[in-house]
Each structure stands twice: as C-alpha cells, then as structure tokens.
C-alpha cells in the first residue's frame, strides 16, 4: 500500500512539473517571445469504394484508407 501511495505521489509531482512546460509560449531563434504559428489543418481522409477505386468519403460503400 505504501508503494502505491509513493508511486501516485511521484506521478502527481511529475504531472505538475510537466504541465507548465507544455503550455510555454513560442520563441524565435533569439529567444524572444513571438506569436505561435497556427497549426496546420488535418489532412483529408481518403476513401475507396468496394472496387478499390478512390471515392468521396460519405458515399455508400466507401471506406477510409489509412
């Protein structure tokens, strides 16, 4: 039981330390704060029909391709 409490406490400390680092503002090469660039939009999914040809996603029988 003591081991479980110790592990949970250490995980909580690590999470508390890592959270501000993930939310840090963007900096340029000289170390000055800049506005963070917008994230790129996700690539559109591609779908294939039952015959294996590319088709619009949402059409009947179309399945997403990895």
* Number of domains composing the chain: 1
Could you tell me the two tokens for 48?
């294939």
In a domain, 54, yes or no: no
Q: What is the pLDDT of residues 26-54, one digit of tens each?
A: 999 999 999 998 888 777 789 999 999 99
- What phi and psi values does residue 48 have, to the nearest 5 degrees? -125, 150
pTM value is: 0.34
Note the pLDDT of residue 53: 93
**Residue 13 domain flag:** yes
Whether residue 22 is contained in a domain is answered as yes
Percent of the chain with pLDDT over 90: 26
Where does the pLDDT of residue 19 fall: very low under 50, low under 70, confident under 90, or very high at 90 and above?
A: very low
Residue 22, pLDDT score: 53
Q: Is the pLDDT of residue 16 over 60?
A: no
- Structural domain includes residue 12: yes
User: Which DSSP string do the residues of the chain spell out, in sequence order?
Assistant: -HHHHHHHHHHHHHHHHHHHHHTPPPB-TTS-B-PPPPPPPPPPPEEE-TTS-EE-TTSTT-EEE-
- The range of the structural domain enclosing residue 22 comes to 1-33
Ramachandran angles phi, psi of 16, nearest 5°: -70, -35
């Amino acid at each position: 039981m003591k081991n479980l409490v110790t592990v949970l406490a250490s995980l909580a400390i690590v999470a508390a330390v890592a959270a501000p680092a993930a939310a840090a503002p963007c900096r340029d090469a000289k170390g000055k704060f800049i506005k963070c660039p917008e994230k790129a939009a996700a690539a559109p999914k591609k779908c294939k029909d039952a015959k294996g040809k590319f088709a619009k996603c949402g059409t009947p029988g179309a399945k997403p391709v990895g």
